[in-house]
Chains A and B, each alone.
Chain A
Amino acid sequence: QVQLVQSGAEVKKPGASVKVSCKASGYSFIEYAISWVRQAPGQGLEWMGWISAYNGITNYAQDLKGRLTMTIDTSTSTAYMDLRSLRSDDSAMYYCTKVDSRDLDYWGPGTLVTVSS
């Protein structure tokens, strides 16, 4: 069965960076993209971007370009999301999702990132 296991909660100071991992299993990793979606407390969903697990090509949301980097390690079937210059409004639950033909079909449990001085 498809599983996405994410790294643990993080607390960061404003201006710092955070790197969240997402380890996939139960499917052929390189055949599908991974997308990242975040959700501020009590708020809706915000798409951050996606990365092809086959060739590493990325597509980032315009608002996050310049601060966001997504990478893939095919040897461990793990995707990474690196967000820099953190602000308080980056505090959110961060989800990785498997992408099948643009559908976000499986979701990880989420990683809570708190940005606070």
Chain B
Amino acid sequence: IVMTQTPLSSPVTLGQPASISCRSSQSLEHSDGSTYLSWLQQRPGQPPRLLIYKISNRFSGVPDRFSGSGAGTDFTLKISRVEAEDVGVYFCMQATQSVTFGQGTKLEIK
């Protein structure tokens, strides 16, 4: 399954919202009823960190300004108000059929 993210780069003003889209080449709904779409954040020089799992569930310790939505083949990560610590690269990931990642979206401050 090919994962395509847009945009690949997103300059955002502090305090403003940001949105990243992820499209899969086929539906991510598994036969068990779950949709294994997650979002990861990678800050500069750090390992990736799980933000959102199964489309819309925030992982432990993730601020509520992060939210995920979508279904089927189209998914979105939204940050309601960007903070300086949000700078980094964001990846979508599917684990419905094997595991594949999007190319990554670089979030930077204008």
**Which residues does A use to contact B, with CB under 8 Å?**
35, 37, 44-47, 50, 59, 61, 95, 101-110
Dominant secondary structure of chain B at its interface with chain A: loop
| Cβ of B68 under 8 Å from chain A | no
Q: Which of B53-97 contact A (CB under 8 A)?
A: 53-54, 59, 91, 93, 95-96
Nearest CB of B to A62, in Å: 8
* Cβ–Cβ contact A107 & B98, under 8 A: no
Nearest CB of B to A55, in Å: 19
Q: Which of B34, B59, B98, B101 contacts A45 (CB 8 A)?
A: B101
Q: How many residues of B contact A (CB 8 A)?
A: 22
Q: Which of A50, A61, A95, A101 contacts B48 (CB 8 A)?
A: A95
Report the Cα distance A37→B104, complex, angstroms: 15
| Cβ of B24 under 8 Å from chain A | no
* Cβ–Cβ contact A45 & B38, under 8 A: no
Q: Which of B1-45 contact A (CB under 8 A)?
A: 34, 36, 38, 40
Known: A47-B98, A61-B98, A95-B48. A105 touches B104 (CB 8 A): no
Interfacial chain B residues near A101, Cβ < 8 Å:
34
Interfacial chain B residues near A50, Cβ < 8 Å:
99
Interfacial chain A residues near B98, Cβ < 8 Å:
47, 59, 61
* Cβ–Cβ contact B104 & A44, under 8 A: yes
Known: A95-B47, A108-B47. A103 touches B101 (CB 8 A): no
* Cβ–Cβ contact A110 & B47, under 8 A: yes
Q: Which 5 A-B pairs have the closest CB atoms?
A: A47-B99, A102-B95, A103-B53, A107-B47, A45-B101
Report the Cα distance A56→B48, complex, angstroms: 25
Looking across the interface, which residue of chain B has its beta carbon closest to that of A96?
Answer: B47
* Cβ–Cβ contact A103 & B54, under 8 A: yes
Nearest CB of A to B13, in Å: 26
Interfacial chain A residues near B95, Cβ < 8 Å:
102-104
